[in-house]
Amino acid sequence: MTALLKLFRTTAFKLAVSLLAVFTLTAVLSLGYVVWQAEHLIAQQTVQAVDNEVAALSAIYREEGVSGLASEIEARARQPGSLLYLLTAPNGEPIAGNVGALPAGALDRGGSDEVPYARLGGGERAQARARVRVVVLGGGFRMLVGRDLGERNRLVQVLVRAILGGLALVVLLGLAGALLVAWRVLRRLDGMTASSRAIMAGDLAGRLPVTGSGDEFDRLATATNAMLDRIVTLMTELRQVTDNVAHDLKTPLTRLRNVAEEALRSGGADADRRAALERVIEEADALIGTFNAMLLMARAETGAVRQTMAPLDPAEVAEGVAELYEPVAEEAGVPLTVEAAAGLVVQGNRELLGQAVANLVDNALKHGAGEVTIGLARDGSMARLWVGDRGPGIPAEDRAHAIERFVRLERSRSTPGSGLGLSLAQAVARLHGGTLTLEDNAPGLRAVIALPLATEPGIVTMRERKEAPALLPAPAGTDGK
Amino acid sequence: MRILIVEDDPEAATYLVKALGEAGHVADHAADGEDGLAMAEQVVYDVMVVDRMLPKLDGLAMVGRLRAAGNKTPALILSALGQVDDRVAGLRAGGDDYLAKPYAFTELLARIEALARRITPGVAETVYRVGELALDRLSHIVERGGQRIPLQPREFRLLEYLMRHAGQVVTRTMLLENVWDYHFDPQTNVIDVHVSRLRAKIDKGFDRPLLHTVRGAGYMIRDGAA
């Protein structure tokens, strides 16, 4: 019973029933009109037939008088059919015809009328009605011509019965159909609900059933499944990050603790203690740095920074970072060059893009060799902002892994860094609707940030990118914010 | 200097009051935004250090109200947040500088002193002088002992910032923020290399160095021994 109640409560059932109601109402109205029209037409035909008969008989009366008319009526009255005839004498006595009984006074009124009657010798047939016309002839003779209405009424009855029967069938079938549709919808929904419950209960591998029919439920299920996939990916990443965070924070924390403990235990000279304290601060700073990088990445990935974006020329980012790192590169004996295409515009955050490129340059200077190039080129609807080095590169199979958060390839464990550089660059690229990929620089590694272009190049000129001549820096007083 | 500290963590506040006292400043402490607002309205402070998340009245709202009332005391916003959008919000609300927690005390002190300097002397100063070194902000000419020193635009801005804060410690992050307009930690000693280049240009060949490294803090330009 509750199962049936559930069916009745479904939207599909309610929709089907209301559609059925509308359809039935329309059918009743239009069929009712048809019946009414048919009835009207038959009535007209009846009047017409009676009038024709009256005209014919009147002609005979005019030519042959009452006796001629009487014999003609007798002849016609004997023929089978629905026509009625009656000829009465001035005293009201019937002379000829097939009408047995009429209501009193029916013959007194002239003209057309609908009256109950009984056929001569027809027994007591109750409720027979006829459309009649009474004509007063000369000398008090009266003639009645009529037509039985039973046929008409039967026709209308048959029509109405057929229509009502049809409608009943339609309503029954409609209700059954509605229940069927509701049941199917309910079955799909119950399946989805059950799957959702299972997923909520912790079965994260579970997915909503997809029948492959491509209907709206399939689309909903597919979208929901995609969402579940994303959630699972995020959760897996989160778990991995948590593990990595635990590792990356516990290692320096342990070092920090060791240093402090060692200083306490040895109880050495003041200078030793001072050195130990300085190392403690150093380790704490490294920890803070790791935290900051993690926070920034978290912020970048939630998209909270998106509102700080503005149109900018990535070449400016490339040149800005090159300018910042040029002395460091020179000190390391590595030429740092910029190969930037002009006139590209992307929607972005200068600071984050700068930090991403700075991270890549930092990596290139630490792990690469020979030369470092910051490049910018247009590739279809994307701007490719890349940093290439001539170092050992990363084997193709390790590249995707290298971008993952905190991952530092085994051989680079000895060099300092939080291990966040590439993953932060990736977070920044994603935030800008782009990607970070690692490519072969042949030889060396090339890290490419692909960013979607904001407008067609050349339409928006950001500003002259020519460096101001030496000794003519930006206007004075730009100190501060 | 008289400094107002609005900070709800009593331990952090006690530490700040003590450390600022040791650095020769007088610091008052308010434990929530409403107290801070009341104190800032009654006493003229040189700088206020305001934590962003405060009980009763949020730090940004507190600064906003002071600014609305015409109070121009420089405010340094402290926050456990510290990303691009938070900093923008902090500066937009009327903060003059923004420092993310946790911070090094030397960094905070350097910024407090820089903030106090910012409004005290005349802004119209067009030539900065430190000893025999002179920087003309209008003609962009740098001279030392009558000898002209050619500088790259960025070196000029670096020196300009250092000289504006002559006698004060300027940290690496302050330089990165104010000269390069970047607010991230570059992980490498990029700023040190820029500064040593500048030092090579202005101090090389002269017997008295002007650009000093302050160990564990940053740099300072001044006439005299470090």
Pairing of strands B141-144, B147-148: antiparallel
Which residue among A320, A352, A476 sits closest to B137, beta carbon to beta carbon? A476
A308: closest chain B residue by CA: B85
Distance from CA of A407 to the nearest CA of B (A): 17
User: For chain B (length 226 residues), average pLDDT per consecutive 10?
Assistant: 90 90 89 88 90 86 88 87 70 84 85 76 72 87 88 90 87 88 78 90 85 86 70
Nearby residues of B126 by Cβ (< 8 Å), 6 or more positions away = B136, B137, B138
10-residue block means of pLDDT along chain A (481 residues)?
76 85 89 87 88 89 86 85 84 82 76 80 67 84 86 83 88 88 85 88 83 85 89 82 73 83 78 83 76 68 71 90 89 89 87 88 82 90 89 76 54 48 78 84 86 63 39 39 37
Q: What is the predicted pLDDT for the residue at A122?
A: 63
In chain B, which residue's Cα lies nearest the Cα of A416? B187
* Closest CA–CA distance from residue B110 to any residue of chain A (Å): 14
Tell if the CB–CB gap between A352 and B153 is shorter than 8 Å. Answer: no
Pick from B83, B150, B183: which is nearest to A471 by CB?
B150
- C-alpha span between A359 and A321 (Å, rounded): 10
The minimal CB distance from B153 to the residues A349, A421, A470 is found for: A470
- Residue B110 in 3-state DSSP? helix
Q: State how far the Cα of B146 lies from the Cα of B123, in Å rounded to an integer.
A: 25
Which residue is closest to B123 within chain A, CA to CA? Answer: A477
Whole-model pTM: value is: 0.58
Using a CB–CB cutoff of 8 Å, tell me whether A64 touches chain B.
no
Of A352, A354, A472, the CB nearest to B140: A472
The tens digit of pLDDT for each residue in A256-285 reads 888 888 888 876 678 888 888 888 887 787
Q: In angstroms, rounded to a whole number, what is the distance separating the alpha carbons of residues B155 and A476?
A: 13
B 81-100 residues inside an 8 A Cβ radius of A: 82-85, 88, 91, 100
3-class secondary structure, B104: coil
Verify whether the Cβ–Cβ distance A351 to B164 is below 8 Å: no
Q: Is A417 on the interface with B (CB under 8 A)?
A: yes
Compute the distance between CA of residue A271 and CA of residue A269 in angstroms, rounded to an integer.
5
Cβ-nearest to A305 among B85, B190, B193:
B85
B5-48: pLDDT as tens digits: 999 888 889 999 999 998 888 999 988 888 888 888 888 898 99
pLDDT tens-digit readout, A206-222: 888 888 888 888 888 89
Residues 116-155 of B with CB under 8 A from A: 118, 123, 137-138, 140-141, 150-154
Q: What is the SS3 string spanning chain A?
A: CHHHHHHHHCHHHHHHHHHHHHHHHHHHHHHHHHHHHHHHHHHHHHHHHHHHHHHHHHHHHHHHHHHHHHHHHHHHHHCCCCEEEEEECCCCCEEEECEEECCCCCCCCCEEEEEECEECCCCCCCCCEEEEEEEECHHHCEEEEEEECHHHHHHHHHHHHHHHHHHHHHHHHHHHHHHHHHHHHHHHHHHHHHHHHHHHCCCCCCCCCCCCCCCHHHHHHHHHHHHHHHHHHHHHHHHHHHHHHHHHHHHHHHHHHHHHHHHHHHCCCHHHHHHHHHHHHHHHHHHHHHHHHHHHHHHHHHCHHHHHCEEECHHHHHHHHHHHHHHHHHHHCCCEEEEECCCCCEEECHHHHHHHHHHHHHHHHHHCCCCEEEEEEEECCEEEEEEECCCCCCCHHHHHHHHCCCCCCHHHCCCCCCCCHHHHHHHHHHHCCCEEEEEECCCCEEEEEEEEECCCCCCCCCCCCCCCCCCCCCCCCCCCC
CA distance B194 to chain A (A): 6
> To the nearest 5 percent, what fractions of chain B are helix, strand and coil?
40, 20, 40
Q: Which amino acid is at B36?
A: G
**Residues of chain B contacting A418 with CB distance shorter than 8 Å:** 187
Compute the C-alpha angle B195/B138/B125, nearest 5°: 85
Residue of A nearest to B197 (CA): A327
User: How far is A96 from A82, CA to CA, in rounded Å?
Assistant: 17
Cβ distance of B141 and A471 shorter than 8 Å: yes
Phi, psi values for residue A88, rounded to 5°: -120, 150
Nearest-Cα residue of chain B relative to residue A296: B83
Q: Look at A331 and B193 and tell me if their CB atoms are within 8 Å.
A: yes
Is-contact A304 B82, C-beta < 8 A? no
Could you give the CA distance from residue A323 to residue A170 in angstroms, rounded to a whole number? 82
- By Cβ distance, the residue of A362, A471, A473 closest to B188 is A362
- Cβ distance B85 to A328 less than 8 Å, yes or no, reads no
- State whether ipTM is beyond 0.95: no
Least CB–CB distance from A295: residue in B83, B123, B178: B83
Distance from the Cα of B57 to chain A's closest Cα (Å) equals 24
Q: Which amino acid is at A157?
A: Q
**B185 inside 8 A of chain A by CB:** yes
